[in-house]
Amino acid sequence: MSRHAGEMARRCGPRCGLIELGSGSGIKTRVLLEALEEPAAYVPIDISRSALEGSVEALSQHFPALPIHPVCGDYTTELDLPVLDARRRVVYFPGSTIGNLEPPEAVGFLGRTAELCEPGGGVLVGVDLHKDPAMLEAAYDDEDAVTAEFELNVLHRINREFGADFDVNGFEYEATYNQEERRVEMYLVSTRDQDVYVAGTRLALDEGERIRTEHAYKYTLEDFGRLAARADLAVEAVWTDDEELFSVQLLRAAA
């Protein structure tokens, strides 16, 4: 973002309205907003009200003249957005979250995003790229076990929300890269034979039996271009790091 923000901003055009899905802390947002020419408005969308309020407060201080219209909600659902007095709408989705969607879901998500940016608008999306499986497996099974804790939290949530009795200590985390499907597959592996009750239903798990919790798809540039085309979006520009490990792509909505 720091290296290519100027070119991204030029392609977004002057007086654009920036709509960010899952705005979070707004660190990447600031880089882009600083490069945009007279941005008309910024619409951050996030499901966490506290994160949204913190981000808006910080950005309002840094960009006092910028109209900011926060929306607290789930960006995967229908949302009522404010009317923007902008020459062009650009939806900003810079992380690699699109890789967590199954390809048909990703097409549907991109189609809904195209509706947000309106005909002629743009979608600026981060896309993690296909790379060495050893690198991916090391990234998704990090030494600090951050990802493992994140995935094991699934069991805590099932216990809390469905009255289950998972013993979280009875599972280990595993991540493998499926070359054929081009996706990292994340599993919780039972360390022993055990019975678990979920909403009154008994589940018998064998030692070594795996529960798949998440996928993270990785794309070649060509594959993602074809995926976007299924949502009536055309790839207008692509920026990558020097090793082409990650990309940010500007997609144009059909006029």
Q: Report the CATH number at residue 36.
A: 3.40.50.150
> Are 165 and 154 contacting, i.e. CB atoms less than 8 angstroms apart?
no
Q: Which residue segment(s) compose the domain that 47 sits in?
A: 5-130+218-253
**Whether residue 165 sits in one domain with residue 198:** yes
pLDDT of residue 172: 97
pLDDT of residue 26: 78
**Whether residue 175 sits in one domain with residue 140:** yes
Give the β-pairing of 122-128 and 88-93: parallel
**Whether residue 166 sits in one domain with residue 229:** no
**Whether residue 192 sits in one domain with residue 109:** no
> Are 169 and 155 contacting, i.e. CB atoms less than 8 angstroms apart?
no
**Whether residue 209 sits in one domain with residue 192:** yes
CA 155, CA 165: separation in Å to the nearest integer?
9
Instruction: Count how many residues are written for the chain.
Output: 255
pLDDT of residue 8: 97
Residues of the chain with pLDDT under 70: 255
**Whether residue 149 sits in one domain with residue 41:** no
Q: Could you tell me how far CA 199 lies from the centroid of its own chain?
A: 30
- How many CA atoms, within 13 angstroms, populate the side-chain half-sphere of residue 74? 4
The whole-model pTM stands at 0.89
pLDDT of residue 254: 80
pLDDT of residue 109: 94
**Whether residue 60 sits in one domain with residue 79:** yes
**Whether residue 166 sits in one domain with residue 43:** no
**Whether residue 113 sits in one domain with residue 170:** no
- The tally of domains found in the chain comes to 2
Q: CB under 8 Å to 49, separation ≥6 — which residues?
A: 72
Choose among 112, 46, 93, 113: nearest CA to 74.
46
CA 132, CA 26: separation in Å to the nearest integer?
30
